[in-house]
Amino acid sequence: MSAYFSISLGLLCSAMTVFAASAEPSVPHLREGQLIVDGRPFFVRGGELSNSHGEPDYLRPSWAKLRALNLNTVLAPVYWNLIEAEEGQFDFATVEGLLADARANDMRLVLLWFGSWKNSMSAYVPAWVKRDTMRFPRVLDSAGRAHEILSPFVAANAEADSRAFAALMRYLRENDGEHTVILVQVENEIGMIPEPRDHRPEADQAFSGPVPAALLKSLRERAASDSLATNQLLRGRARVGAHIEEGTWAEVFGEGVEAEEIFMAWQFACYTEQVASAGLAELALPLYTNAALIRPGYQPGQYPSGGPLPHLFDVWRAGAPSLSFLAPDIYFQNFTYWARHYARDANPLFIPEALRSNEAAIHALYVLGEHRAIGFSPFAIESTPEPTASYLAASYDLIRQLTPLFRPSHEKSGARQSAGLLKESAETKQPQQVRLGNWTIYAHFEHTAPYSLGEGGAVIVGQDNSVFDGVGVAGAMPGQLSPAGGLVLMLGEDEFLFAGMGLTLTFASAETGAWQAGLLNVEEGRFDEHGDWQHVRWLNGDQTHQGRHVRLEPGRFCIQRVRLYRYR
Ligand code: DGJ
């Protein structure tokens, strides 16, 4: 038995407490792919406010609800037009209010810089920028028509945005010594619409000129190191891989919208770098930017062209090295696909916006178990209806208990020690198979409606103590199916924690020979505020189908600790 496996859960958690107590308070930062806040690994149990819900007075009545959802972090916009209504005159009253109220509610903040771009458009730039189209030009389409999007090819635009962002970060340095703000998003869903690229004269000139040497050098290096993104980008091009030759954008990347998109990605990245680095010079918080994803069949320009998308990772990394990571806003059903595409090439996974569905509660557990994500955050969190709110609150409660167990050192051996449990798609019929250590786990998903009270109380209880049995909670549809999934964490060679609901788990020994897998015991429990395991009940008999499986019933989140043995 390895040293790691011999550590009991209690000891593991006590070790965490000692580690935390001795750690120096420091600026939040990334270490080994994890977000470190106050010296400890931190998972953002987040929720993003809807766009016009970020002014402190308006937001104030919502804090009780945000707390009840078991959030530890609120993602809140900072509006350029409000903090710099007059050029060079900064008013941080809205930020001051957010900081005070977040602290009063024991909450952290991720600030979203609605600067030059918000969903491609430039609606949040101050009036003095909006009105002065000579000084702050907009993009032009191929017909020469202007769109309300600041052109990334104009130095004055980047300079004005950089000055404002730097002022924000300076304000945080001077007024947020306790690091209520843990991450900052630079801009929001950048990308050119409704065409693949800007057609301003500066843009046309740059497009017919050479691809910058810095980009070529970086792509060559990344291609040589076999970066997946670069290879995707260059696949099908005449000059592939480490031997990309110099030339114009069309010569290097081909005649077509792909080249135009790469061109925009580089320009957006360089602009964002100018803004981000100006902010970092004031305060070294981790910065990121987020992407609007691609609807199936859409072309660049139909979706925001040149945003921080997986096939453009290497362009963004070359152009914007001040960003700590790139993040997806996942509103689509193929959640696992997009999560996987952002959790690679050393990009820590953080989901600043997710669809506020019942499945969000499962997705949060999944990204922690599968990808050791930094955090998760449904959008328009303040108006989450039932039963979604109760599901999310219950899931975040489990994550609060489990976060101390997820440390980089768990993966040091190179062997995987946790996994997310989630169907790849609604059509998937086969059980998910997960290999952890010497065991194969088969996860079957049960989306049945929660049982009625008469069938044994497999229900969720709303924040208002209402009981959801498929009909009882406001907003619930009769017969609505409960989401299913969660995570598994390996505690020892033969010991696992499962967290989630709607799961039936069977096991097989991966060792050769005729060994069969048996349940030594199955225990439901909780971790208390000290990280110590508290027994709730032993599960056996009907609850384990007389020893044949482990079951986390539909409609009720729980943690089960399972010890296996082999027999023949
Ligand atoms: C994605 C944007 O980033 C958000 O600010 C918001 O507009 C949502 N879309 C709305 O669905």
Mean pLDDT taken over the chain: 89
Q: Which two tokens stand for residue 321?
A: 């090295």
Give tens-digit pLDDT for 489-517: 999 999 999 999 999 999 999 887 778 99
CA separation, residue 95 to residues 57, 58, 317 (Å): 12, 13, 29
Q: What percent of the chain clears pLDDT 70, i.e. is strictly above it?
A: 86
Contact call for residues 408 and 466 (beta carbons, < 8 A): no
Q: Is residue 15 scored above 50 in pLDDT? A: no
Nearest ligand 1 atom to alpha carbon 331:
11
CA dist 201 and 318 (Å) reads 25
Structural Rg of the chain based on CA atoms: 25
Please tell me the distance between residue 78's alpha carbon and the centre of ligand 1 in angstroms. Answer: 14
Top pLDDT among 355 and 6 is at 355
User: Phi and psi at residue 329, in whole multiples of 5°?
Assistant: -95, 105
Of the candidates 480, 493, 497, the residue with the CA atom closest to the CA atom of residue 550:
497
Ligand 1 lined by 329 (C-beta under 6 Å): yes
Render pLDDT for 93-132 as a digit per residue (tens, 0 to 9).
999 999 999 999 999 999 999 999 999 999 999 999 999 9
Per-residue model confidence (pLDDT) at position 415:
78
- Cβ-proximal residues to 112 (8 Å cutoff; 6+ apart), any chain: 48, 75, 76, 77, 78, 184, 185, 188, 352
Distance 315 CA to ligand 1 centre (A): 24
Q: Which of 189, 288, 338, 351 to mutate to test the pocket of ligand 1 (most atoms within 8 A of CB)?
A: 189
* 3-state class (DSSP) for residue 537: strand
- In short, whether 124's Cβ falls inside 6 Å of ligand 1 is no
pTM over 0.75: yes
- pLDDT, residue 150, reads 98
Cis amide linkage into residue 478, ω under 30° from 0: no
Q: Residue 245 above 90 pLDDT?
A: no
- Closest ligand 1 atom to residue 379 Cα is 8
Q: In angstroms, what is the span from residue 123 Cα to ligand 1's centroid?
A: 13
CA 382 to chain centre: 18
CA of 514 to the centre of ligand 1 (A): 54
For residue 225, the model assigns a pLDDT of 74
Q: Is 353 touching ligand 1 by the criterion CB < 6 Å?
A: yes
Q: Could you tell me the distance, in angstroms and rounded to a whole number, from the CA of residue 54 to the centre of ligand 1? A: 14
Beta pairing, strands 460-461 & 467-468: antiparallel
139 Cβ partners below 8 Å, 6+ apart?
A: 146, 147, 149, 150, 151, 192, 198, 199, 200, 203
pLDDT tens track for 56-68: 999 999 999 999 9
Residue type, 473: V
Q: How far apart are CA 48 and CA 353, in angstroms?
A: 7
Cross-strand partners of 47: 74
Spatial CA neighbour of 530 closest among 6, 18, 5: 18
